[in-house]
Amino acid sequence: MDVRNMQGNPGIWEELSWADLSSAEKELWGTLGWRQDRWDGNDAPSSAEKDWRDLSPQEQAAAMNLGFTEDIWNSTEDE
């Protein structure tokens, strides 16, 4: 498995532990500032609070590869 298709439902990520993520997914989330302790502790990095336009080009690319669009990113709150 490379990167799972969230099919427009970002909530799928909240159901997974860090250990459940593929290497590719860990790398993409890592670009967004997530690490195992943050993920499993639900301690969101600063990227989670940013609007899409405020993400770096690398962060936007990682988010897109994880299935986010600008609209989904901006309407998703980390819980």
CB 62 within 8 A of CB 24: no
Report the pLDDT value the prediction gives residue 76, as an integer from 0 to 100: 83
pTM: 0.91
pLDDT tens-digit map of 3-62: 998 888 888 998 999 999 999 999 999 999 999 999 999 899 999 999 999 999 999 999
Compute the distance between CA of residue 43 and CA of residue 57 in angstroms, rounded to an integer.
23
SS3 state at 79: coil
Report the pLDDT value the prediction gives residue 40, as an integer from 0 to 100: 93
Report the pLDDT value the prediction gives residue 78, as an integer from 0 to 100: 58
